[in-house]
Structure 1
Amino acid sequence: MHTRRTTLKRDQVNAKENQIGGTLNSYLHSLLLPFFLFLLAAPAQAARLQSWRFDAAQNRLDFTTDDGVQPKAQLIENPTRLVIDLPGTTLGRPAVSQSYNGAIRSVRVGQFEKGTTRIVMELAPGYTLDPSQVRFRGATAQQWSVQVPTPQLTGSNAGAVLAAPPLGSPPSVSALPLPNTLPTVSSSGTAGTLIQSIQATQDGFFLRTNAGQPQIRSVRSGDRRQMYIDVYGATLSPSAFPRDLPGRQNGVSRFQVSQFQASPPVVRLTLALSPDSPNWQASVSGTGSTGGIVVLPQKAGSATVPTVESPRNSGSQTPSEGAKIQSVDYDAANNQILIRADQPIIYTSGWDRPTGAYRITVPSAKLDSNIRGPQLPTNSPLLQVRIRQEGTNVAVLMTPASGVQVGTANQPSRQLVSLPFNRASASFPPNPTPGNTIPVPPPTNPSPVQPRPRTPNGRLVVVIDPGHGGPDPGAVGIGNLYEKNVVLDISRQVAALLEQQGIQAILTRPDDRDLDLEPRVAIAERANATVFVSIHANAISMSRPDINGLETYYFSSGLGLAQSIHRSVLQGTGTRDRRVRQARFYVIRRTSMPSVLVEVGFVTGAEDAPKLATASYRQQLAQSIARGIVNYLR
């Protein structure tokens, strides 16, 4: 997503001069001085978990700490969870949880007990993994990766929807009514049809199968942005990769395949579509080793795909139009919301970006005139539940309390939808029983030495580099917001704050002037700078206002500095986290001291641009960047 113009002569920003008056300096000094003095005087603390990232496509978890750590790992069953403990490590923030599609359904990170941070990777019901195949690798004692083997279906009666959608992903439709007759399933739990591989074709997609004539049912979401094709009596082979393919034509932006249900087995094909694109349909083609399922767009002029399609059992019951939502209740005994209707219904579920609530939408439904909202007790996992009529749909918006994880919506019956919630305290299992420990080898470099800043003649010298400037405006975003103007204001405030702490701060350009890349590096080298910090604002196409957040770059010795600034800005502003990354920008590659390039936000972002345009938010950014620098220099 990162689209900076790295081939241009300048990769830095400049801005119109924006004087910091004595009153503002006094205010910032009084606000930050106690905090900075604390940082400079603070004793060494336990290691902190600085970042983590799970790559669902590769089944790999990466995490970094600011000091050395030796992980411990165990496997817990029922449900299957890979538990990774980091002794002597603190999280320093509330527990977090991220959900994924696929066999690994979630990754949760929290402070399990004092001095131990716990990472839990939970598998979807019906899946397990071989603990002997879990591979840990410590590039250093601070940088670890965990390669998880491909989870395998157990064949047991897992019975539930297997994965909740990740935040911001398109909502998933509820389980459709099963046909009256399903393909034969053996006593071992193996489905009649095994989907062995998936590939994109010139016209659509092809799923190779081993045998059988599976039943197929299709439905399109009410907003026409998704097409769901369910293959009954089918199991997805764990080796059937890729499971998430980019779309190539006919308005498809993504094609995803997942084991939607384990018993009875159902494989779900999900197509993310543009609203004006045609419907898609699937059909069985060939037999034996040449057989499979062909997925193609519906040709113009052909019969339209009905809302619910069952090619081999057209008489099955489907949701009726005009269903009434009779009640939305909170079941305190099971920590779940129950949505009841007077007729069979389907639903979509997912996170609602504008409100930050979790949404369940019931299409072709209306609210009963006597409906009341749920009565939430004081210890409820929900802060608020809103029920509203949206045209021909009913929406239920639920705002979880802090530390509460949203479970997977399901349908106990055709007229009932349930959504469970789990508190953070229940998200981290107790210590596993002995016997399932996973060996973790020591790091390749057990005693890494993080390059520390030089202090020539006892001085601390920080060079602050506002990118671009003069005739080079940098990125131009929403509302004609110039990158050079944004970052100059931030940079000057950072320099002023550092000076107040007795740290010499040098600006590569104090005003809106033209400055090449080489002179910026030369300024830092002549000053024999302790660290170098280049400040930028990011940009992408104006057609992608959904891209927002903080990115921090380093080349070699600047990793610790980048992590310190990045963490401080996230904590100080609450902006979205787009991670610390390694890059070869000229100014951080050619400087000899620890150097970073901070992208404070997207001037093209719907969330970032309005904030970057305000003096108060730029002040927050300056304070946070200065904190990060001081924290590193301590």
Structure 2
Amino acid sequence: MKPYWLLPSCLSVLVCAMPAYAGRITSWRFDTVQNRLFFTTDAGVQPRAQLLSNPTRLVVDLPGTELGRPTVRQQFRGIFSSLRIGQADNQTTRIVLELLPGYGLNPQGIIFRGASPVQWSVQLPNPQRVAPAPSFPRSQGNPPGNFPPVEPPSDEPQTSISVPRLVAQADGRIPSADESQAIVPTTIAQAGGIQIQNFQVTRGGFFLRSFGGSPVINLSRSRDRDTILIDIENATFSSNLLGRQFNIDRYGVEQVEFTAIESSPRLARVTLRVNPKSPNWRAFFSRLGGIVLLPQGQILSDLPNRPIQSTRPTRPLFSNPPTINSSSPPPTFNSGAISIPVPPPERNSTPIFRQPTTPSTTQLPPVRNGRVTVLIDPGHGGYDSGAPGVGGVLEKHIVLSISRKVNAILRQNGIQSVMTRTGDYFVELSGRTQMVPRVGADVFVSIHANAIGGRPDVKGLEVYYFGPAGERLARTIHRSIVNNVTIPDRGVRKARFYVLRKNSVPATLVEVGFVTSPSESAKLTSDAYQDEMARAIAQGIIQFVRQNF
């Protein structure tokens, strides 16, 4: 159930509090796989939208809404090149989604949907080439295989994201800008593969300057939540980092360690010693040439004037990455643009879910009360891949498959079943629990797979609960699984997982096995074993419903 991060397809950002006279935009993300933009506000809003050209941009204005921070920009590696969030005027937040030059969108294919006045999505059609794309010569600073940065048009909100310039010195202080220009970068320890030169603290998290391409990054968290491991495949640290430890005391991180793991492939491991109550972290490769480490709810920003204290003497760390700074004022709405209709929100709507195709019908005792609704929660999804397993197995795929099967079995047996996600996309933890009252759920079952680094021998079933009602549900499902599936039993345990603590109905979290165990990972990817596990979970749910409703 550990988070795992690849190059992101979407970004979710939580923002600071706003003055009382205006609402605020509280989160946003763009899913490059589904061509879908999501955003939420803390007060009702009726968006306005237009489609601009040269290059193509979808511009969405949120009247009566404030951002409360400098303009933010996220860059992508596809035809949708960037997403910018800025302030068009004092009480209007502007979202600009930009395409690469030479591509356009069919305005009739842009569909806005307001699930509520504060929760919106925009479905975009596939981009179409409208003219030969201009040739971009590679500059010396652009790694092979990456598009060079596309400068925003002068009539659009521009960026205020900066990659950090200053890093810690041997005496634990941050050098001045003048001093930093005189420091010579150290030699990279080993040629070939990904080479990580230095470590920097930013205003939003951490930054690892790297060379050699886009790395594969595996991220996991220990069960006691005090250690986060970030493994970077086919990578080596510079001599400045290898074997070093730094006391950070920032973002819930007490210490950072850099070690090499001899394996196939070889790994450069970053270990974060964290406060158990601190948020989970994300890791992804930046087109600006490095690896970004962020706690949930943070974005990459400027480097604060804060020292890093090394627990050992160390040579200076240095890099001078490029900085993107722009401060042109936001534009006014272009009267010559194509207006995109935005229908009013569906104020009392609930999500529509499609029932997936599943194997043969499973006959279980019918439930008398067909009005009972069970909310099945496949863990993780989208950019949050969950626990990385043997052979590249990802938790998010396994639990979605099992959840679909459980969902179908419950419906076949007279229980209304709904899923928090029906495909490979991310849903916030708060969004999962908020679906309980929205769909009228009576029972909540979250399905996950477990992992533990360096312990392939550990395997088995774990079922979690928080409150008394959740314990009854957990023990009923646990008993059904151990009676019907051949799996080591690691017991029923109490835990403070968000989806358990923040639930108003009986809730449980089922860890169906360890993807880091070779034998269990092979089982969990087997369709037959998934059927067996799904039947056992569904049977436990049905038994609980019959006994309690």
User: How does the TM-score come out when normalised to structure 2?
Assistant: 0.38
Greater share of strand: 1
Structure number, greater radius of gyration: 1
